[in-house]
Structure 1
Amino acid sequence: MSDNPQASKGSEDLKEASFHEVETKHVPGRITPQEIQARFDTLRDLSENELETLNKRLVKKIDWRMMPMITLMFLLNYLDRVNVSNARLAGFQEDCNMSDTAWNAGISTFYVGYLIGQLPGNILLAKTKPNVFLPVIMMAWSIGTLCMASLTSGAGFAVCRFFIGLMEAPFFPGITLMTSSWYTKEENPFRMAIWHAGNTVANILSGFLAAGILEHMENIAGLHSWQWFFLIEGAVSAIVAVIAYFVLPGWPESDKHLTEQEREMTHYRMLKSNGGIEETNGGTWDGVKDAVKDPFTWIFCLMHFSLTVAQSFKDFLPSIMKTLHFNKMTTYLVQAPPYAIAYLAACAIALSSGKFQESFWHVVAPIVASAIGCSVLISTLNVGARYFGLCLLVLGTYSGLNLQLSWETTVVPAPRAKKAALVAIANCISQVSHWFTPYFFPTSQEPFYRLGGGCILIGCFLVVVSAVLAKWRAHVMNKRLDEAEGWTPHSGNERGWRYVS
């Protein structure tokens, strides 16, 4: 996609043609950066160099205000979600007298709450202040994590996990929405990769925390080590929630930490990135209806669902690592390198995707690597080969999920209510996979876990199918915009806003 710097006499006619030709309700039209700049009192007289200097200063300010905080919050969010896997190795399941069926039911129940809270939570976020809403739900799930230390039965496990899932539900799509509201289409993929690092870093820290807490805190103050695990993680999460209330920014148009010129610059940046559409346009339920009617929503629902299926190993990674026959301490520690590699790769791939405004191959190539890694993992007992396969498996699925998020918020950049609904619906449907994928990893499948491996491979295949559909849809929409604007490769005109493919 590129912005059109040329103002033409028929621009309004072309814009109207775009709206009639294209099947979506909110389609960016042909509007020049100069026309957008003229709308703002504090910006209209600035030169191009002055705009660029202001933009760099503003982006730096946003980066420091938002990125460290939401990265830390997401790290703790994901840590609280996966901590049960390592607690299981420390005897959590046995101490609570849970069968494998009760354990899997508790894992699945988390995602029932997660599913229920998705759409209403994200729609509520779009209409409230993120610097209030996000810390409040973080405090709620922190309390749920603290309560995990008092569990004695499978029923309590299921209830507690349901509550944590319900409270965590709006967070992941919420910070996706927040990032896409502050950063342009070029900046968005890399910024999402940065906070998405919280996902990978959580898995790294989980292993180290497990090694430190689960191996050395048994019977301290009469508590099991897994109880200390939940208490420490819950307490840290609660403290960060309090800090986030004072640090997080709100929405760009109302953030009190920005000057009037900085607010207008933020508005100007996003209008350029969105092709001239106001992000705040439209009502809540209008956004939901628009999202439901847009084929992109269902394509990205399939992509997100498929990526989550391909990631179904994550709740069982410690158990899979155990089949490599390291001692318990080493099993905790060797979980770190695959996620560290995945994080570095995700950042590099996201930078490339944002720079070249290309998503298809940046999603497909890593997911093919994941499929290769999974195939190695389920076909050999060689420790080195299996560990290499795990590295590939983690790398491709986590990178793919990050880019899917930036892709969907780029092809549907505004209004905010529609974007919020799309992200929430896609994330909501993706969580359905957690209702059945835990049953593909029973302990009877050790050491290969081929049933789970087959599930992962199907997920990888469907990711490729959905990426093809998204690319095809973007191609069709761009072709119609070309026709509406009378653009051809030999017309001599620059193209207006276009869908990323």
Structure 2
Amino acid sequence: MSKSTDSGVVTKGDLRGPSSSLKSSRHEYTSDTQTTELVQEQPKRSWRSYVWDTLDKSPQERRFLFKLDAVILTLASLGYFIKYLDQVNITNAFVSGMKEDLKLFGNELNYMQTCWTVGYVIGEIPSNILLTRIRPSIWIPACEVVWAILTILLAKCKTTTQVYVLRFFIGLAESVFYPGMQYIIGSWYRKDELAKRSCVFHASGAIGTMFSGYLMAAVHKKLAGVGGFKGWQWLFIIDTVISLPIAISGFFLMPDLPEITKAWYFSADEITLAKERMRLEGRAPRAPYTKAKFKKIFSSWHIYLLTALYIFFNNGNGASGQPAFQLWLKSKGHPITEVNTYPTITAAITVITTLIYAWTSDTVFRGARWPPIVFSGLVNIVIYSSLAAWNIPDGWKWACFFLAGFGGGISGLTFAWAHEICGDDNEERALVTGTMNEMAYVFQAWLPLLIWQQVEAPVYHKGYMTSIFIAVAMILTAVLVRFLHHRERARKLLAEEPNA
């Protein structure tokens, strides 16, 4: 008999164990009985698994996950850290002397951000399709090296055109990383493990934003004028020095996917275990792209609603994604050090709430992804309604800019949800996650030019008003996705009933 849970996951009998997964044998992973028993034999769930999910698993699986976490979470977090470091540094440089030195007194900052976004958009879907055909351990680190080298060239720019061109190619190279690493994470982890890893990965981007602010403050104080370079120029130089070693390490450590991995730190038994975990999860291995597969992907609601959900998330956090806080501080006469460091509190709140969302989704809500998404949307409605009014006490305005961090922590949950919904088709999963990120940035390429114009700073009334409607749309989309996923799982289970 089938039954449903509030998470929207439909279960059959007692198949929903500590891993919250639907056991499947549809895919052609090689396995043996002993390995299957190692994965399935889970002790009764204790309080320890609420701290970290591996603590209630078998010793063999725990040892494997320790290695996997050590490599994937380190590479993903450090890579996303340097991606954000090299992405947001333009804002820190802009408010720290670049504006005056290059005479950027119009909407040039918007155009610089748009050039990056256009490059990012162009590269995402082709890159994720390539990742299903070539080794991620070659493609992802190579692109990291490229964007790190291009970042240092920003220090030598004399004209806005040079900045625009470099920002375009930096965005093109960076387009590989986030959707690519989300695809890799979704290829190794089970349902009860997925949200925490996706969100730990995503939190490192906020840490990169924080570090860029602290680094700019330190560089402006210590290195301005050294070697003939201004403080904002030194920021780009140091970012590259930090980024290159991290990028190069990926060539040696990236584990690729379970069915093609040659990672030197995994034994043959551990690779077999990894494949079996994905078979039991119903997570499909790689398969050829066919006309029928494309027809299936584009006739499903998955690609459209999951993409819409991520568009609303990605474009609904303008108070933290745009330099609204920095420019308000600058208009109030705060020194450059404070302009760069106070907004890092928002990023710190994003880190904390990202982790809270992940743990509560996996434990309190038993694998449901929609409750934290709805909660963050409600917080955004309160924040942006207040900022749209603008004539509010400064104390509450400070609070709103800080609390904007609550809206930035659900990216990992949306990708975890996409991996689960599209888990039985590897190519759909790669294409959907790539499309989610790409289309979000398609909107980001032009929407800020309309609603976050630099010349309207720091009031940004159009931006705050638009963000209210985006938050409402995100909440409604999350509820609809939950309903459709629940119905889809129920139909699949009904079709699998022996007497159906």
TM-score under structure 1 normalisation?
0.86
Q: How many residues align?
A: 465
Paired with 1:486 and 1:416, the residues of 2 have a C-alpha distance of 25
- Unaligned 5+ residue runs, structure 2? 1-8, 16-20, 44-56
Cα deviation per residue 1:111-139 (whole Å; 9 max; x = unaligned)? 11111111111111121111221110000
Contact 1:288 1:417 in 2 (8 A): no
Contact 1:304 1:401 in 2 (8 A): yes
**Equivalence for 1:424:** 434
Paired with 2:192 and 2:42, the residues of 1 have a C-alpha distance of 19
Contact 1:305 1:430 in 2 (8 A): yes
Query: Do residues 343 (structure 1) and 351 (structure 2) align?
Result: yes
Cα deviation per residue 1:195-214 (whole Å; 9 max; x = unaligned)? 11111101111110111012
Supply the AA of the counterpart residue of 2:73. M
The range that moved more, 263-272 or 430-439, is 430-439
Cα deviation per residue 1:182-204 (whole Å; 9 max; x = unaligned)? 11111110001111111110111
Query: Do residues 484 (structure 1) and 495 (structure 2) align?
Result: yes
Contact 1:36 1:268 in 2 (8 A): no
Alpha carbons of 1:29 and 1:43: their partners in 2 closer, same or farther (altered >3 Å)? closer
**Equivalence for 2:253:** 247
Supply the AA of the counterpart residue of 2:142. V
CA apart distance, 1:395 = 1.3
Alpha carbons of 1:386 and 1:272: their partners in 2 closer, same or farther (altered >3 Å)? same
Aligned with 1:166 (options 163, 172, 178): 172
Cα deviation per residue 1:386-442 (whole Å; 9 max; x = unaligned)? 12112222212x122221111111111133222111111111111112222332223
Cα deviation per residue 1:343-371 (whole Å; 9 max; x = unaligned)? 11211211121231111212111121122
**Equivalence for 2:360:** 352
Supply the AA of the counterpart residue of 1:452. G
Contact 1:288 1:421 in 2 (8 A): no
Give the SS at the match of 2:35.
coil
Query: Do residues 48 (structure 1) and 41 (structure 2) align?
Result: yes
CA apart distance, 1:36 = 9.9
Query: Do residues 107 (structure 1) and 109 (structure 2) align?
Result: no
Contact 2:11 2:22 in 1 (8 A): no
Query: Do residues 227 (structure 1) and 233 (structure 2) align?
Result: yes
The range that moved more, 330-339 or 143-152, is 330-339
CA apart distance, 1:32 = 7.2
**Equivalence for 1:261:** 269
**Equivalence for 2:46:** none
Paired with 1:6 and 1:369, the residues of 2 have a C-alpha distance of 37
Query: Do residues 385 (structure 1) and 385 (structure 2) align?
Result: no
TM-score under structure 2 normalisation?
0.86
**Equivalence for 1:121:** 127
Aligned with 1:463 (options 454, 465, 474): 474
Contact 1:138 1:167 in 2 (8 A): yes
The range that moved more, 91-100 or 140-149, is 91-100
Cα deviation per residue 1:55-74 (whole Å; 9 max; x = unaligned)? 11111110112111210110
Alpha carbons of 1:193 and 1:49: their partners in 2 closer, same or farther (altered >3 Å)? closer
Supply the AA of the counterpart residue of 1:336. T
Aligned with 1:79 (options 82, 85, 89): 85
1:3-22 to structure 2, matched below 5 A, reads: none
Cα deviation per residue 1:87-120 (whole Å; 9 max; x = unaligned)? 0011213322334233322221111111111111
- Unaligned 5+ residue runs, structure 1? 8-27, 492-501
Query: Do residues 410 (structure 1) and 420 (structure 2) align?
Result: yes
Aligned residues with identical type, % of pairs: 22
Paired with 1:163 and 1:288, the residues of 2 have a C-alpha distance of 29
Aligned with 1:448 (options 451, 454, 459): 459
Alpha carbons of 1:37 and 1:218: their partners in 2 closer, same or farther (altered >3 Å)? closer
**Equivalence for 1:372:** 382
Alpha carbons of 1:345 and 1:336: their partners in 2 closer, same or farther (altered >3 Å)? same
